[in-house]
Structure 1
């Protein structure tokens, strides 16, 4: 894989997506990003809208299904939200997740993995996982299986300074104090999957830590802050992949969450690691 080319493509995606794209207070930018998502995903297959209503308005999750080597396997769903909080360009939150999602589409359209891959760009995560909740409920009502759900939530902030990484109380003694790794958070039953993903990240040269949780993360509220939560709550296996948001990134939900605060080399390694890891599943 050409690291420089991948990094440039990620940077190009970020340039398009990192803008205030709140669906209500920056609706033009929100629409622009939706158009960009459709344009980029449609290069690799048919894009469909999963539409839902919220507060009297119609919203859309954007979905593309890519074949796997074994079509009998249940699909792996990888999701990233594309909305932002008002007043923030959301470079890390979550333009980074969207950029990686688009590059996963490129990689797995060219070389399918073992399982079918479903990529979903979710709307309204910032309002309480509204888009992913509608999508998960629709799957559950149909009895549709999933092999795994991965939520990509803030992937591009890295800091090598000591004590740059914070934790919920009780975890600080178990994990590094430098914010220079990518985290995985999932139910303890998903430990074998997290190990496979960890090996993918290691192959890409990026550090990774994982946190197994029980009871859908109820004892660690910070583990329940992204689009994996509706899937957890409905019994689907799901893992959050994150740079840990405000536990590391001081620009979280601020106007300063801009492109110049990101570590593109780190983001590129995370993207490579996900590609390597997903090929192991």
Structure 2
């Protein structure tokens, strides 16, 4: 990393994190339209099915990836949703993004999109990365049921985030984002739910890219909201919305995409398409010892804190969809 790049990162961190206490105090109450409790047991069940029963699921294990697809479809269908399948082809293999929609009322053309990738890295069952993200998005479908948002809310399960498709045009999220841009969809907010299940109160359990540790806690007991520089306005609104819905510890960062970790998920595809997007994450490899290994198993997840984060996300997403401005 060049010195100028370091200075850019430091300047961004100083400007954005943490949000001042006044911003926390000014947050309004959680939307009263969403009051369904997130079930710890259901989150645990989703992670167990995806990472325990199905296990490794990716381009090298296409049958397992399709089992995961069918499981996601079945859960959302059981919740009463119509599940749209957006298929595309790579080398004669067909892959599918899955989507459910909560139509907006007053601002229906504006979209709040929440997504998580359902594949896992080669050689890993992918409990934290990213069965936790998928489980959260599945249960958001239940939590938001019956809510009539002002803006349209879309929940999407993306395929093919991991290698060999990572950072290519074959990522499921990239295919989706390019199609959305071609339709001129008005996506006002995209939240990528990426690896959100591991927490620790041990001093020194949280690590960072160079220099960021000067500004952030050394205990891995928080959830992080991360954006590129052009998505800073969305980041601030999302932080405010989450803090209005939950007292779970939250840290935020806006930084250039070249900072290691900032662009490591599906939000990158939406940045490339010109949409504002953030990543919601426990910071993955910066705290999780079993990241991208065969030991990324369901028993490693802190289900109590994972549940609390998902509950906060439900309230935050509702607040973003109903906000006067976005």
TM-score range, shorter chain: over 0.9
Partner Cα separation in structure 1 for residue 51 and residue 110 of structure 2 = 33
Partner Cα separation in structure 1 for residue 107 and residue 319 of structure 2 = 16
Partner Cα separation in structure 2 for residue 39 and residue 242 of structure 1 = 26
Report Cα offsets for 1:27-65 as digits up to 9, x if no partner: 332221111111111233211111111233111101111
Q: Superposed, which structure 2 residues align to 1:6-25 within 5 Å?
A: 6-19=39-52, 20-25=55-60
Q: Which one of 156, 159, 177 corresponds to residue 218 of structure 2?
A: 177
Partner Cα separation in structure 2 for residue 124 and residue 31 of structure 1 = 12
3-state SS of 2:187 partner? coil
The number of aligned residues is 277
Q: Which one of 117, 136, 151 corresponds to residue 81 of structure 1?
A: 117
Q: Which region of structure 1 is more displaced relative to structure 2, 260-269 or 123-132?
A: 123-132
Report Cα offsets for 1:125-168 as digits up to 9, x if no partner: 00215111111111112222101111000010101111111111
Find the counterpart in structure 2 of residue 198 from structure 1.
Answer: 239
Partner Cα separation in structure 2 for residue 205 and residue 24 of structure 1 = 39
Find the counterpart in structure 2 of residue 158 from structure 1.
Answer: 199
- Structure of higher CA gyration radius: 2
What's the TM-score, normalizing by structure 2?
A: 0.80
Judge conservation of contact 1:197–1:273 (CA < 8 Å) in 2: no
Find the counterpart in structure 2 of residue 230 from structure 1.
Answer: 269
3-state SS of 1:266 partner? helix
Find the counterpart in structure 2 of residue 122 from structure 1.
Answer: 158
Judge conservation of contact 1:183–1:208 (CA < 8 Å) in 2: yes
Partner Cα separation in structure 2 for residue 23 and residue 255 of structure 1 = 14
Find the counterpart in structure 2 of residue 106 from structure 1.
Answer: 142
3-state SS of 2:226 partner? strand
Q: Which region of structure 1 is more displaced relative to structure 2, 193-202 or 263-272?
A: 193-202
Matched, 1:139 2:180: yes
Q: Which one of 54, 66, 69 corresponds to residue 90 of structure 2?
A: 54
3-state SS of 1:97 partner? helix
Partner Cα separation in structure 1 for residue 198 and residue 288 of structure 2 = 6
How far did residue 198 of structure 1 move? Answer: 3.0
3-state SS of 1:251 partner? coil
Report Cα offsets for 1:245-281 as digits up to 9, x if no partner: 1011010011111111110011011101101111221
Runs (5+) with no aligned partner, structure 1: none
Judge conservation of contact 2:234–2:277 (CA < 8 Å) in 1: no
3-state SS of 1:211 partner? strand
CA spacing shift, 1:201–1:265, aligned 2, 3 Å: farther
How far did residue 116 of structure 1 move? Answer: 1.0
C-alpha RMSD over aligned residues: 1.8
What's the TM-score, normalizing by structure 1?
A: 0.92
How far did residue 213 of structure 1 move? Answer: 2.2
Partner Cα separation in structure 2 for residue 25 and residue 186 of structure 1 = 31
List, as ranges, runs of 4+ consecutive aligned residues in structure 1 with deviation greater than 6 Å: none
